[in-house]
Amino acid sequence: MTPDIDTDPAMVDPRAPRFGQLVTMSALAAGIALQEPLVVLAVAAVLNLALLSGWRLDLYGVVWRRAMIPVVGKPDEKEAAAPHRFAKLMGATFTGTAAVLLYAAPAVGVEALSLAGYAVAGMVAVLAAVAGVGGYCVGCRMYRQVGFFRRLGVV
């Protein structure tokens, strides 16, 4: 029996991750440009909530399914979700690190931590832009190279 592509959680609309990557890139770019750590923290919270909930509380996914699918229609085909989930794991890890650095800087009085936080957020924004605009997902490529996380059941 083949899985139903509309309901199989192991499959994803290939446009959905690109949508999430463009939202991530836009929000992080705004946070960096405005020097607003709260925006970086919000992106980290969205990505980490999806990760920690086992992908059940994925705000990007909800917005895609509820707001975008009615506009763009259902996909003809779906692809494996695991590489995209690994990429989101990487994004969650690094945006979380950026948020910690940004909020630690004033607490410990080391301004270099703030610069490092924005640099990490910028790196995530650039990689999200490359994936969202160019279709080259570095995290997805890494997933294919690192079978260790699959054996652990993380993604």
Cα distance between residue 40 and residue 96, in whole Å: 8
Residue with tokens 């399914």: 65
Q: Which two tokens stand for residue 41?
A: 């923290």
C-alpha distances (whole Å) from 17 to each of 3, 24, 113, 125, 154 are: 21, 10, 30, 14, 18
Interval 20-31: pLDDT, tens: 999 999 999 999
Q: Which positions ≥6 away from 38 have C-beta within 8 Å?
A: 31
If phi > 0 it is left, if psi is from -120 to 50 it is alpha, else beta; for residue 75 that is: beta
What predicted TM-score, i.e. pTM, was given to this entire model?
0.87
Domain locations along the chain: 12-152
What's the whole-number mean pLDDT along residues 68-81? Answer: 94
Interval 96-144: pLDDT, tens: 999 999 999 999 999 999 999 999 999 999 999 999 999 999 999 998 8
